[in-house]
Chain A
Amino acid sequence: MIIYNIFTKYFYFLNNISSPISEIRNSLGPNDLPYQIPIHPNLVHLTIGLFAIGIAFDFAGAFYPFEKRILRFLAFPVTRVGFHDVGWYNILAASFITFFTVATGFFEMLLAVPIADVKSIIGQGAITTMLWHGVGGVLILFIFILMTIWRGYQRFVFRKDFGRQVSWAYLLSGTIILLLMGLHGSLGAWLASDFGVHITADQLLVNGVELKNYLS
């Protein structure tokens, strides 16, 4: 950290040349973005929430025969079709929104200036974390699209006349993807909490700016 500070202080010209971001430095804020709050982490809420709850409701639909008595006992009238509707529409919406999640993620990753010489909990440096998170994000988008197509075929073709609209293989895949997404999301979370990417206070602190002067 100290070395980094000395570097930025005395070899400023070198630092200026080393990154392509310096060309547009003047139009970026202290968080290295042209706006205050990053967009990608907000779209992530939708991607994760929609996919996870979509799979959860397909589970609810699959185990409907077991839940039937409890639901009747609670006087809560819901149908199996209703559960599977949530499973289908939520994953459809998740796939749609994830294009934007990945797009904004890449834009904001291009402008990322992670704190130097930091290691995450699993021992990765900033660039390793960003590369895994970036490539993993594209992979997850691809998997989402495949899952949505699979889900659609089950709903409208393969299992059209079945009470249980999804196969066990689909539910298993969904569970594995959710676990993968947990790990993938953690990488993203560490980019913020450990590497300080796009966090105004962290970037100011690392650059030796008094927070009291900047953030009242």
Chain B
Amino acid sequence: MPTVNDFLLILPEVVLLIWALLILLIDLWIPDTKKYYTAVLSAAGLVISAGCAFALLGRTGSAFSNMVVLDGFSSVLSILFLLSGLAAVALAYDYLKRNAAQRGEYYTLLLFSIAGMMLMASANDLIMVFLSLELLSIPLYILAGFFRPRLASEEAALKYFLLGAFSSAILLFGIAWIYGSTGHTDFPGIVASIDGGRANYLLLLIGAGLLLVGFGFKIGVFPFHMWVPDTYQGSPSSIGAFMTVATKAAGFAALLRVFLVLFPAEAPIMAGILWGLSAASMIFGNTVAIAQMNMKRLLAYSSIANAGYILMAFVPYGNPVIAQEAVSSALFYLLAYALTSFGAWAVMIALEPAESDGLLLQDFSGLGRKYPWLGAALLISMLSFIGVPLTMGFWGKFYLFKTAVDGSQIPLVLIGLLTSLVSAYYYLRIVMFAYFKPGEPQIQPGRWASVVAVICAAGIFVLSFIPTPVFQFAAQMIMGMK
């Protein structure tokens, strides 16, 4: 029977869910003209939940009969999700007003989705993985279509929903195979069954493959990425930004934990699949991004490529030492990527006129001259995407590549380097428009989005001076994993 301690370990999630329900209720009596109350309330909830997560930082334990675990990995990711949520709230505020879509449900749904992500990062049972995946996905399906009745938004939501349902089914199917093989859905049980030699190897492999597909869909790697560009473009930009960072991170959280805990022995076989997914994502994402003139689609393809980069370090995960390094690098990169991606999206959201589906690159013309702070934020974000030194992006890639080299994945690293080179073309083209083309941004930039952009850019720059402490924090945090 659950004890108080069980609830204490998932306190951030509990707080967030209760808060979300309360906001849902309170928002009913807040008139449309005063929705900033809802925004502020939800931000407060995120901050309180983050405070709880901070307080739990460093504690480990499992709760609810091993359904969820709390460890450094889940704590750090929880904080990342909550901060991403905070950014998504800040980005949405001006943006929703501009688009006359000030509906309080945005914030409630966002909070629900974040709670799902947090549970996903600490799930210790395949059923829990599935449930939290649904808890994070369903609000996002709705949020993607939040600009109802705008056709593009509805289309994005429908596509996301159909394909998401498809992939959820596949994930569930994989869980079924694993249950069939081992007779367990909880991680310790599955591990015990595999270690005891009672598991059916073939069924297990098929299950693992299907799980990989399910997670691959969430993180958007080739060829499970197809929904990414259409959905990002059609959904509200603040949700696009949130999805590139938080959903991806949640998918990685589950992927890393499930594969590290359940399938270390299958690593030699899985490595081949991961290799292919990683290489294909890097090549495809970076190449097709070149042809994009719409900023949202460009960032979508960039996110596909970045998923490939993170996966790269994870290919040699069978070696315990490398696995440790891989998870630290992935966490570090997720942080760097979160800052960079939010920085880029925030600049775009600040400048995006009402009723548009993303800025064209030409629309950045003259930005550097007219709004130097936003221009600088865009520049820093783009340099960080490329991985130029003095940005977090550089260190992120550095640690990923280093891990891959340590795992003797030289060809993959070469692909990574070459595709980074290719990516410089489209990232720098944005900078070129912002600084070297005459023009004028169409609208007055939204204040909160600008603040987010500048904070992210400052973070990218400042943290790049202390990469080692940050990395070691990540490494120290995952020590207590499992």
A binds B: no
- Chain A residues within 8 Å of B, Cβ to Cβ: none
